[in-house]
Amino acid sequence: MIPVSVITGFLGSGKTTLLGRLLRDPGMSRTAVIINEFGAIGLDHDLIEVSDESVVQLSNGCLCCNVRSDLVLTLGDLAARREAGTVPPFERVVVETTGLADPAPILHALMTDRNLCEIYALDGVVTTIDAVAGLSTLESHAESLRQAAVADRIVLTKTDMPGAQADAINEKLAVINPGAPVLPIVRGAIAPSALFDSGLYNAGARHPDVQTWLAHEAVAAAGGHARHHHKEDITSFCVIRNEPVRAVTLALLLSALAENCGVDLLRMKGIVRVAEEPDRPAVIHGVQHVYHTPVWLERWPSDDRRTRMVFIGCNIRESWVRGLLDLLDAEVAEETARQSIPRAACAQ
């Protein structure tokens, strides 16, 4: 699987500067870059930045003139060219969104397209926030809030500039998305390893960095209860369960979340102890109404074998999620018991 990382951030927040610096790092060799210039998913421009001679070279727009402005087609085309050897064998893709984009449609495309899912795996979302203007942007632009809310990692840019408000922004981000590490940088300087390779969807190849990805401790430490951002009423909370969850309950839970929360659920991620497979945790991941197929890890990433689910959204009550899980659990347990009675009777 080829990991795909999404870099998003509001206009002028430093996405391109960050990307430019990252691509000069040897660790980013063999990386294909897709720049989303117009529309939510439309990809209208050259695909690749060149970091060194060994990497993909498309400097004359040889792809941009052939691909259609669609992420799915672009990624599919890239994979086909990689297979055919007409582009160097890139090992990672980075998608840069527009400054006004809601990244959710891009994540949906990566999570739901059957052909893409056989080749690519979403690695994570990196969101840039400008330390100078970021505070007011978060206050006044819903797009910026959403970009921050879906982030797995947040890069705080321009921290060396006069007027930088890093502390105030950190405080606000601790409410919007307490689980995402905030990484302050100057002029785009940061190691790729700090941003990419959660390895979550490449289980087996590496030890997945579930702890960092989930970061449920940070969410729990943010108050243990839902925290509210006054403008968009974004809440984040963590649901922890000691008891294993039946596979049927998990399926019903994901269905109910997808069907009832809609666009209000900005991000959901979790690691679940499934009763039928207690030694292999299932990793679940949703963006709005779209849920990634659960991924089964080979083993638990730590001694903590509890089910942990992090929710970030608007207008979603923690009590609703807990109530849903409790009621589904009870319903499935009752149904399981009911169905086992005739078999027990037959055995006698």
Partner 1 sequence: MNAADVRVRDFLADSLALWRVAGKVEAGDSPTVAVVRADAGTIVWIERPSGEGLPLRWLVRWRGAGEAPGAPREQHPRACASLVGMLNTVRGALGVDRGAAVRIAPAPADA
Binding site for partner 1 (CB under 8 A): 108, 112, 247, 250-252, 254-256, 258-264, 274, 276-277, 280, 282, 288-296, 315-317, 319-320, 323-324, 326-328, 330-331, 335
DSSP state, 228?
Answer: E
Contact 11, 36 (CB under 8 A): no
For partner 1, give the closer residue by CB, 69 or 293: 293
Cα–Cα dist 40/36, whole Å: 8
Query: Shortest approach of partner 1 to residue 87 CB, angstroms?
Result: 30
For partner 1, give the closer residue by CB, 109 or 156: 109
Closest by CA position to 205, among listed 97, 121, 144? 121
Helix (H) or strand (E) holding 311: strand 307-314
For partner 1, give the closer residue by CB, 192 or 208: 208
Burial of 93: CB neighbours in 10 Å, binned 0-12, 13-18, 19+: buried
Query: Shortest approach of partner 1 to residue 194 CB, angstroms?
Result: 31
Cα–Cα dist 109/75, whole Å: 10
Query: Shortest approach of partner 1 to residue 110 CB, angstroms?
Result: 13
Query: Shortest approach of partner 1 to residue 51 CB, angstroms?
Result: 35
For partner 1, give the closer residue by CB, 191 or 263: 263
For partner 1, give the closer residue by CB, 48 or 325: 325
Helix (H) or strand (E) holding 337: helix 318-347
Q: How many other CB atoms sit within 10 Å of the CB of residue 113?
A: 17
DSSP state, 255?
Answer: H
For partner 1, give the closer residue by CB, 63 or 203: 203
Query: Shortest approach of partner 1 to residue 225 CB, angstroms?
Result: 14
Query: Shortest approach of partner 1 to residue 63 CB, angstroms?
Result: 29
Cα–Cα dist 173/229, whole Å: 9
Query: Shortest approach of partner 1 to residue 284 CB, angstroms?
Result: 8
For partner 1, give the closer residue by CB, 255 or 340: 255
Q: How many CA atoms lie within 13 A of 287 on its CB side?
A: 21
The dihedral through the CA atoms of 99, 142, 171, 95 has a sign that is negative
